[in-house]
Amino acid sequence: MVATTIATVLTLSGAATAIPSAAPDPGAAAAIKAKIRPQLQAQLSTARSSVDFWVYFDGKADLAEAGAIKDWNARGTAVAAALKRTAEQSQRAVRTELTASGVRYQSFWATNAIKVTGDEALAERLAARSEIGSLLPSFTVAPPPVTRGTGRQAADAVEWGIANIHADDVWEQLGVRGEDITVASIDTGVQFDHPALVRQYRGNRGDGVFDHNYNWFDAAGTCGAAPCDGDGHGTHTMGTMVGDDGAGNRIGVAPKARWIAANGCCPDDAALIRSGQWLLEPTDLNGQNPDAGKRPHIINNSWGTTSPSNDPFLEDISLAWTASGIFSVWANGNNGPGCRTSGAPGSRKINYSVGAYDSAHALAPFSSRGEGQDGEIKPNIAAPGVNVRSSMPGGAYGNLNGTSMAAPHVAGAVALVWSAAGAMVGDLDATRSLLDGTAVDNPDGQCGGTDDDNNAFGEGRLDALALVNQAPRGPTGRVSGTVTDAATAKPVPGATVTITGPVSREVSTDADGGYQSGALPLGSYTIEARKYGYASGRTQAQVREGATTTADVGLVSQPMSTVSGTVTDGSGHGWPLYAKLVIGGYPLGPVFTDPVTGRYRVRLPRASSYTVQVTAQYPGYQTARRTIELAGADLVQDVALTVDASACTAPGYRFSGVGVSFDDWSDTGTRGGWQTSGRPGWRFDNPGHRPVPDGGGGRFAVADSAFGAGQRFDTSLTSPALDLSGDAAPRLTFDTSYYPDGTGQRADVDVSTDGGRTWTTVWRQTNGHAFGTVSLPLPQAAGRKDVRIRFHYRGHDAWWWAVDDVFVGSRACRPVEGGLVVGFAGDHDSGAPVFATVGRTGQPQEAGTGVTTPVDPAVGDGLYWVFSSAIGRTAFTASATGYRTATATVLVRRDAVVTRDWSLVRAGG
């Protein structure tokens, strides 16, 4: 994937006006200032010279009717003309002013914007113009990082990815190889005369002569008049789309498709936008004589943001491509394996993005996953992306990994289906629906979604054979209609409409309840509409050549009841819990409680029984199960979850007693009030390389006479004062390995209940070995506040005694006085979630780190929770890599949840 540092908005719309004739009032001045994004304000205020920035205009071309234009050339020409007309009207006055002032700038029409080089004064002057919507900083981009695959570089009969998606079956069974379709890429370029690519290059006239006009755009300014690739990434992705050298290297999905390219990835931001604009209306090598009829059918985009993002990066160009009938394919990102790692532009609703899997159908660890814009399932689909063998510069071949490698599999598959079914060319909705409907389901609930559509594999694994088999080859017609409420006749938006007949399709109704099928083979179809809260409805339709058959469906609403309640802690604190409810038979996914109030609410059809599984989102609680019977009335169902007493890891709960593991202790140092005395002393770095005490692990305490080179040992390891006033039956447990040497050594465990003035021996070993866990009752310490434990070792020319995992108490899991603090951390400028560590100042043991919340649409990422044993006004600190540490006072309440959000400022900002 391409790296970009953009985290800004690139959308626009409005009309031109004159420069204000009078100074704005303070309110207007603030509004003008607000047009300059904070990142750009910071750059301008600190820059010693001019900086590059983008000026976006509010004018927006009306492209709504373009999809109705059937002729390919006319459709593309109409879109380009509308965009140019809007840009000219919006930008005319500003361009005139910039030219007169000698300001360097670049003007664009595919995105209604100008890139300017100037200072703070120029930015403020431009922001005052009403036709300008926003000013944003220039952003940097980097070539896609290459991740090498493993395995041999020699050709297989068919590369594994090609066979995996059954593209070779399309060639052999259906005789389709992408004929009459042109694909393109915005990438690092392409070696046009590579043996696997030269025959498919559109600029190859077939007589040994190449014409690069309209077929190559050198956005980077590094290749000149002929396509080249100094990186390899672009040559590799193009090979996966169309590669075949005719001599056994069958590496491309659609080897008879033609290709063109632009190397806009990635010298700078303007190169990306120039490339997107050129592909809407290619020109000759001199940038003249534009011809939208020569635009590609499909564009592969194996690049995007390097960090998770839903920003509308290049959105207006995506919209223009869509209006023009171009199907764009996007890599979903290489930011995995975490959830919510999808990157823009692939994360946007309008863009069809691709995740990556390996030859065993396992999702690649690097493959980005998780919700995109407005909760959209991302990626949309998954394709082979691990150890993908394809073309490399110099006529070579190589294996690479990435969603960059997966995306061109999908681009090639679209080329196959458009080649097979000409009626689908430019019909993007139908193509997306067909891709979705023919994908092989791959259940994966790690980041939310359903078995057939989840935030890991999307709709599933790409199947090119099923895709082409389901395409409308030959005479076609369409089905359209409206889904309404049968009682009120009001439209039902968001209903799922399944069209079943000679082929199957699945579409959704729009805001007006309408749907349209796209091209279908002729025949009889069953139309079924479904939406939660309604009984499904069904009708029949006959598809006729060249006609659109109307098939409306009415849905009968089901009686519903509201189930609500509160999920709380049931083991002592009683505070509200952030919890997930999984309701059997409820198709809309898990229901979550509010993290602060613990309340939930859900509507369910009546006259039904539901099983509910309630799981706290905080660790250490047991899952509860309930059965709900809905006979008609609304129902309140509260749930109190109990802690897992055996683990005692829930926030605000601890075992009664005190333990120490020695894992992070230094060689001779102690901590937490423990003390060593005598010479030589107890050690924690195992100087004699002794085995870990049975049952223990990591570092441990050892008194090692054998390592002491003849020294006489008389040393004690003594605990701090222990408060056992709440324990009626405390015990001492520890793991030990005691190795004696005749009568030359002794190990004692002593207990004091008076602060160490007097001691009682409760365990002794002399000449007998002792291994494993020792558990000793301490009745004399029950209810006492000043209890101490002492491990006393004596030895001379003997062996050693090792001790680990000491615990004193009854191990009852009990609530600790305190309160719970919950909130979010975000970036001060962008509001993006920050996974900060928040905790009591100076108390690292009482801290929590922000988490992702991929399945809960109501709660954003960056949520944290932390238990505070301090009540009242308490100092808290929030810290995150790359940000300044922040502090604040939080009013913590006993047995309650309080909120504190954090807005963190970037370091150096």
**Enzyme catalytic residues:** 187, 233, 404
Neighbours of 169 (CB within 10 A): 18
Give bridge partners of residue 840 from the DSSP assignment. 876
Query: CA–CA separation, 555 vs 509, rounded Å?
Result: 13
Report whether the peptide linkage leading into residue 687 is cis, meaning its omega lies within 30 degrees of zero: no
Query: CA–CA separation, 323 vs 426, rounded Å?
Result: 9
Report whether the peptide linkage leading into residue 227 is cis, meaning its omega lies within 30 degrees of zero: no
Residues comprising the chain, all counted: 909
Query: CA–CA separation, 482 vs 498, rounded Å?
Result: 13
Query: CA–CA separation, 220 vs 230, rounded Å?
Result: 11
Query: CA–CA separation, 619 vs 844, rounded Å?
Result: 18
Q: Is 610 helix (H, G, I), strand (E, B) or coil?
A: strand
Could you give the C-alpha distances from 398 to 46, 258, 417, 541, 664, in angstroms and in order? Answer: 46, 22, 27, 51, 46
Q: Are strands 745-752 and 760-765 parallel, antiparallel or unpaired?
A: antiparallel
Cβ atoms of 480 and 503 within 8 Å: the answer is no
Query: CA–CA separation, 291 vs 275, rounded Å?
Result: 15
Quickly list DSSP for 832-853.
-B---EEEETT-TTSEEE-B--
Query: CA–CA separation, 394 vs 21, rounded Å?
Result: 61
Query: CA–CA separation, 583 vs 605, rounded Å?
Result: 12
Could you give the C-alpha distances from 27 to 59, 135, 141, 400, 545, in angstroms and in order? Answer: 24, 19, 36, 55, 61
Query: CA–CA separation, 849 vs 864, rounded Å?
Result: 6
> CB-based contacts of 386: which residues, under 8 Å, 6+ apart?
149, 356, 357, 358, 359, 364, 401, 405
Q: Hey, what are 383's tokens? A: 């394709």
The gap from C-alpha 402 to its chain's centroid, in whole angstroms, comes to 15
Quickly list DSSP for 161-174.
HHHHTTHHHIIIII
Query: CA–CA separation, 615 vs 613, rounded Å?
Result: 7
Report whether the peptide linkage leading into residue 20 is cis, meaning its omega lies within 30 degrees of zero: no
Query: CA–CA separation, 671 vs 661, rounded Å?
Result: 11
Query: CA–CA separation, 340 vs 539, rounded Å?
Result: 39
Match 């000409």 to its residue by tokens: 422
Query: CA–CA separation, 353 vs 346, rounded Å?
Result: 5
Q: Hey, what are 824's tokens? A: 């979010």
Helix 72-101 to helix 269-280 angle, to the nearest 10 degrees? 140
> CB-based contacts of 438: which residues, under 8 Å, 6+ apart?
463, 466, 467, 469, 470
Q: Is 791 helix (H, G, I), strand (E, B) or coil?
A: strand
Return the closest-CA partner of residue 650 out of 544, 702, 578: 578
Q: What is the DSSP letter of 189?
A: B
* φ, ψ of residue 319 in degrees (nearest 5): -65, -40
Query: CA–CA separation, 582 vs 625, rounded Å?
Result: 10
Cβ atoms of 543 and 477 within 8 Å: the answer is yes
Helix 120-127 to helix 38-46 angle, to the nearest 10 degrees? 150
